[in-house]
Chain A
Amino acid sequence: MDKHLITRGVQRSPFWKFILWILPWGMLLGWGLYGAYLCLAEGLNQTNMDNRFAFGLWIYLDLTVIAFGAGAFFTGFLLYILKRHELKSVINSAVVLGLICYSGAIAVLMVDVGQPLRAWFTFWHPNVHSMLTEVTFCLTCYLTVLILEYAPIVLKNRQIRKIPSYLVFEFNLHKLMVVFAGVGAFLSFFHQGSLGGLYGVLRGRPFAFREELGIWPSTFFLFILSAMAAGPSFILLTTWLVEKLSRKRLVKHETLSYLGKLSGIMLTVYILFKSIDTLIWINSTSPSSGFPAFEYYDRAAFGTWVLFAEVVVFGLLPALLLLRKRFREHRGWLITSAVFVLAGVALNRFVLTIQTLALPTLVFDEFLSYLPSWQEVATFSLVIAYGVVLYSVSFRYLPLFPQERELAQSY
């Protein structure tokens, strides 16, 4: 039915099967839209956030998906600026993933603020000292860059290519890709960092507050490094998942192995600096604010096991595995390590968003708990469903994996 839209030389499932695959995600999307609508129309009283737990599931989602989406800028930077051509076979997929993560995060942010119609105020009278201003500016600009990077992939569609002017436009966009990659890397550096700074500057929350390096808290740099570790692992994992679901080989194992190596190197650097930062925080930053650091781990749900899991189990362990070629060559170890990398980064974002707010500041404060409402979960699911649908449509009709045809012919 839609064969004329599918890239030449690649096999895709029958149209009815594709619809069957999309249908449940479409239903989830509808449920998510309803939840988001309730929050926009009735207000954030639909959520389980409150005056003490003012940030919740959505901010956690934003921080996590943006870290996962970092593969788009990091891969683009390595391919177009540093000329690492091994990544050519995954760059299109990386751009789609980046677009999904960033646009999803911005959509949820719009639901998360109480007055979304005032979002433009940040551009009109910005507070240049606020990390959120930096996040807003860089996210908006980088989303524009991602759309410009996604456009040539759409224009590569078999039918669209038939229009000569579109072909010329696509060719010209492609020539500018170096510029987009450079701008993307610059913007991503700042928004990944400022998302980390978002919590690092909170002097009133000594659990999150960190010393400044230059004008930014250390979390600014730690977020950049951890995002650079998570990005390649997310591309690796999604590529493997798409291969499994579509029952096709999409990229050579060397590419996946290279992504694993990149992730391993960046994770090692991140864990090294994270460990130094944690030691400084435990011994100096936190006690000097009147907060003995061990007290943070004295609470029922968040013992020292959280820190151990973050730094050792989901940090050091996958870093060591991914640095060894022997483990990268083994598909099982490679995928497991990538899952661990992503779990570690997701846990780090959870700790900063949720644990920070759960811990008391005043002596007579109590440890707080928070459980998201169904409307919050629905809006969260909206991003997941939107991502799956956009990726599935892109995978079906656009050439996301240039090696696919070659690999199909060799089998």
Chain B
Amino acid sequence: MDQATVKQSRYGMAIDLDRCTGCGACLMACAVENNVSPGRPTVNERTGTTWMRVIEVQDGRAFPAAETAFIPMMCQQCEEETPCVSVCPQNAVEVDPETGIVGQIPQRCLGCRYCMTACPYHARYYNWWDPQWPEGMEKALNPDVAPRMRGVVEKCNFCHGRLHDARAKAAAKGSREINPTDYIPACVESCPVQAITFGDLNDEAADVARQAKSERAFRFLSRLGTEPKVYYLSGRSWVQRLADRELARSKKETVHG
């Protein structure tokens, strides 16, 4: 493809934490879409694979004043000084210059896990076991996404299989530009309260770009300077302060994760 004539996109997300109910539909849809195998009986939250976690946080106040928020946390698609890209010894992590999506190439991954130590969001997962599905369930695997083998790292890639589909559709129509409605990640599609918005942050008309500029928008650990492309929205100040360790500390709030 002639790169000079292709529009440069910056795909990102905006997640409204005031809408999220913590139902977990997003992470289930993610696992089904991306062929993330169910964990063995022995796995725990630190050894299992899920490209998306939903973290429950509370403001520390006693019932009935207590407030809860649910934070869906996946790869934050860092744009600057992308921590995992610069550390990988064999270029198994790459940023697609056309989309800005941080991609993982499992077939090239050494399994050294240096990228996992580099990620401040703990959004990378190592395959400690070979993937296994209960008998019959393998028939429901998504044929567009290759399952990963034991010994490699994987993470959210904004449903790369769906991006390929959207590109194929555009190509069939003789276009190089994909239709935004053709490329929607599984978590966005599945959210029953439409808490997740996805799109091109470079497209000022896109909902995601508008939401990213809203006063309610913030990003986690933004002071690290990695410019994540996943924005979170909340009108609650205690939730906004979770973004930064110093902010949370200055208010002396107790946050229970």
Give A contacts to B, CB under 8 Å. 43-45, 49-55, 112-115, 118-119, 121-122, 124-127, 129-133, 136, 198, 201-206, 287-292, 295, 356-357, 361-366
Contacts and interface: CB of A to CB of B under 8 A. Distances in A.
A122 B87 contact: no
Contact of A55 (B81, B86, B113, B246): B113
B223 A364 contact: no
Contacts of A365: 122, 257
Given A204-B120, A290-B244, A295-B249, A51 B125 contact: yes
Interface stretch (B103-111, B160-168, B182-190): B103-111
B87 A115 contact: no
B127 interface: yes
Contact of A363 (B90, B114, B127, B245): B245
Interface string B231-257: 000000000011111111100000111
A357 B108 CA distance: 25
A49 B87 CA distance: 20
Contacts of A130: 86-89, 114
Interface residues of B, number: 58
Contacts of B83: 202-204
B224 A290 contact: yes
A288 B223 contact: yes
A132 B114 contact: yes
Please name the 7 residue pairs, one residue from A and one from B, whose CB atoms are nearest each other, closest first.
A114-B111, A114-B151, A364-B257, A204-B120, A290-B223, A50-B46, A54-B113
Given A290-B245, A362-B121, 6 more contacts: A114-B151, A118-B111, A130-B89, A201-B86, A204-B118, A361-B120
A289 B224 contact: yes
In this complex, the member of B120, B130, B248, B257 whose beta carbon has the largest number of chain A beta carbons within 10 angstroms is: B120
A133 B225 contact: no
Nearest to A125: B91
B119 A125 contact: no
Contacts of B249: 292, 295
A294 B249 CA distance: 12
Contacts of B151: 43-44, 113-115
Instruction: Tell me which of A43, A112, A356 has the highest count of chain B C-beta atoms within 10 A of its own C-beta.
Output: A43
Nearest to B114: A132
A54 B57 CA distance: 25
A121 B116 contact: no
B250 to A, nearest CB: 9
Given A113-B111, A290-B221, A364 B255 contact: yes
Contacts of B119: 204
B112 interface: yes
A53 B46 contact: yes
* Max chain A C-beta neighbours (<10 A), residue from B111, B242, B245, B247: B245
Contact of A112 (B112, B152, B246): B112
A362 B255 CA distance: 11
Contacts of A118: 90, 108-111
Contacts of B126: 44, 51, 54, 114
B124 interface: yes
Contacts of B127: 114
B157 interface: no
B249 to A, nearest CB: 6
B133 interface: no
A118 B91 CA distance: 13
Nearest to A55: B117
B90 A127 contact: yes
Given A121-B90, A291-B245, A292-B246, A361 B152 contact: no
Given A51-B122, A202-B117, A363 B255 contact: yes
A127 B46 contact: no
A11 B89 CA distance: 49
Given A115-B109, A125-B90, A362 B129 contact: no
A195 to B, nearest CB: 12
Contact of B117 (A125, A129, A287, A357): A357
B220 interface: yes
B81 A203 contact: yes
Contact of B111 (A115, A124, A357): A115
A67 B129 CA distance: 33
14 contacts: A44-B126, A45-B129, A51-B46, A51-B116, A114-B126, A118-B90, A119-B110, A201-B87, A203-B120, A203-B224, A203-B225, A204-B83, A292-B245, A364-B256
B226 interface: yes
B82 to A, nearest CB: 9
